[in-house]
Amino acid sequence: MTALPPQDSEGNPTGSLLATVARLLAPVVRLLIARGVPYQVASELLKRVYVESAQRHFADEDATGTRLSLLTGLNRKEIRRLTTEAANEKRPEDIASFASATHAVWSSVRRWRDRDGNPKPLPRRSDGRQLSFDDLVRSITLDHRPAAVLEELTRLGYATEDDEGIVRLNPAAFLTQQSFADRLLPLGENLEDHANAAVANVLAEQPPFLERSVFSDELSAEAVAQLARAARTQWQRVHDETIAQAIAAEEADITAGRKGDMRIRVGMYFYAEKKKDEEA
């Protein structure tokens, strides 16, 4: 297991900052790997986030490439690529993993579909008479063994192999992807605002937002389950009371003629796991 960056002394807090960011990124990277998103995609995305954040928070809209390059550490050629209309020509989601590329070719290229337009079931290996799954993978990349690509497709739920060695594309994967996309919306919205509040508190002289938690590490699994139920009950009360107060506040603003140009998000979370020094 790779260690996190060491924390520096107070005289040089960069190490502490990077160690903290590494902790924040770890669950996000876990999600990316779980869904087959390779490093190249995340790297391209991070470049875009760097440039957009620099433009939004640290530079004017008409900031020069030199200014943005100094803020982000990216060279001016990359800045131009990421800030022009041509930026959309290379979107992060277009940098596919080999498993995703195999899935895309299998489901869209005529050679790999049957007369009804459906992806063909493919024998695992070629017998010299018909196309195989190995042929499909080798038409896309020679850098990875077909067995490794099949393993990744199976892990992602995109394909299955039966006892006779026939590999099939899983049509239900599309429904699974839509369900997964629905889950991503609250994840992105909630974590973004939580992170915004926490970062604002770190950067400001006086922390402007509520951002607190309770921690305990001497609990049994039964006690954790009990506390989880209690937290859900408490959240329901906070949820209902906050909605009622927000509705009343909106009505008061309208009556008083105040401009309603602010938004809020109030949240609560609960997480539990075994202590790291006791994990197998």
* 135-152 mean pLDDT: 89
Domain contains 247: yes
Domain contains 141: yes
Domain contains 222: yes
Name the DSSP letter for residue 113.
B
pLDDT at 85: 64
In this predicted structure, the answer to whether residue 245 has a pLDDT above a threshold of 80 is yes
Name the DSSP letter for residue 62.
T
Query: 224 is in which domain, residue-wise?
Result: 214-256
Report how far residue 169's alpha carbon sits from residue 158's, in angstroms, rounded to the nearest whole number: 6
Q: What is the pLDDT of residues 145-202, one digit of tens each?
A: 899 989 988 988 889 999 999 999 987 776 566 677 778 888 899 999 999 999 999 9
When divided into structural domains, the chain yields a total of 2
Report how far residue 228's alpha carbon sits from residue 267's, in angstroms, rounded to the nearest whole number: 15
Q: 208: pLDDT confidence band, cut at 50, 70 and 90?
A: very high
In this predicted structure, the answer to whether residue 223 has a pLDDT above a threshold of 80 is yes
In percent, the amount of the chain with pLDDT more than 70 equals 87
Domain contains 40: no
Average pLDDT, the chain: 86
Q: What is the pLDDT of residues 71-94, one digit of tens each?
A: 999 999 999 999 886 555 556 555
pLDDT at 122: 95
Residues 223 and 165 in one domain: no
Residues 105 and 165 in one domain: yes
Residues 166 and 109 in one domain: yes
Domain contains 119: yes
Domain contains 176: no
Domain contains 236: yes
> 21-59 as b/e, with b when 16 or more CB fall inside 10 Å?
eeeeeeeeeeebeeebbeeebbebbebeebbeebbeeeb
Q: Which residue among 170, 201, 231 closes a domain?
A: 170
* 53-61 mean pLDDT: 87
Residues 161 and 218 in one domain: no
Domain contains 225: yes
Q: What is the pLDDT of residues 227-239, one digit of tens each?
A: 999 999 999 999 9
